[in-house]
Structure 1
Amino acid sequence: MIDVYFWPTPNCYKVTLFLEEAGIPYRIIAVDIGQGAQFRSEFSAISPNSRIPAIVDHLEEDVTAIPIFESGAILVYLAEKIGRFLPEETSERTVVMQWLFWQVGGLGPMAGQAHHFRHYAPELIPYAVDRYTTEVTRLYGVLDRRLDGRGFLADGYSIADMAVFPWVNRYAKQGQDLARFPNVARWFRSISERPATNSAYRTGPVDPRSSVIAVV
Structure 2
Amino acid sequence: MEPDAKSRGGRPWSFDRDMAVETAMRLFWRHGYEGVSVGDLTKAIGIAPPSLYAAFGSKAGLYQEALNRYEQSLGSLDMMPVASAATLAEAVRRLLESAVGAVTHPDRERSCMVSSGMTACHPDHAALARDLATRRDAMRKRIAQALAPFADAGEAGRLARHLVAVMQGISIQAKDGASPAELQEIVEDMVAGVAARSSGGGQSHRGA
* TM-score, normalization by structure 2: 0.30
Greater Cα radius of gyration, structure 1 or 2: 2
Structure number with higher helix proportion: 2
Which is richer in strand? 1
Q: Return the structure number with greater relative CO, CA threshold 8 A, min gap 6.
A: 1
